[in-house]
Amino acid sequence: MKFAATLDETIDRIVPAGGATGTVLPCHRVDPELFFAESPADVEYAKALCLDCPIQQACLAGALERQEPWGVWGGQLFVQGVVVPRKRPRGRPRKHPLPEPVIDPRVAPAARTQPERSDRKERAA
């Protein structure tokens, strides 16, 4: 875990050893790489973990002071040293959004009641 050392060193600067919080910080309960994830969903999860953190404000202030190049710090996402509201998914955005799926209520219940393929094999045996 290449990010574990960076995250731990940063937190040790904010909260000295033996810490004043007396609790396990949210960033210590999960894989540190979550805070540097590529997936927008993982980034949002990392930001949510920071919401109840006792050192959230100090972590964010430290990241701003250090001009962190990237990652989630203090509940905010940094990209190229700037706080951004959300992470964009990889690739080009669609020219036209996908249409909402149309679910025919006459067909949907029947589709749900058909047995799974594995169930059909068990019944045939």
Rounded average pLDDT per 10-residue block, the chain, 125 residues: 58 57 82 91 93 92 92 94 79 76 59 51 55
| Predicted structure pTM score | 0.59
Domain ranges within the chain, ordered by starting residue: 2-84
Q: What is the pLDDT of residue 116?
A: 53
Q: What is the pLDDT of residue 46?
A: 93
List the binding residues.
27, 50, 53, 59
Q: What is the pLDDT of residue 98?
A: 74
Q: What is the pLDDT of residue 124?
A: 56
Please give the structure tokens belonging to residue 111.
């589709």
List the binding residues for [4Fe-4S] cluster.
27, 50, 53, 59
Q: What is the pLDDT of residue 96?
A: 81
Q: What is the pLDDT of residue 117?
A: 54
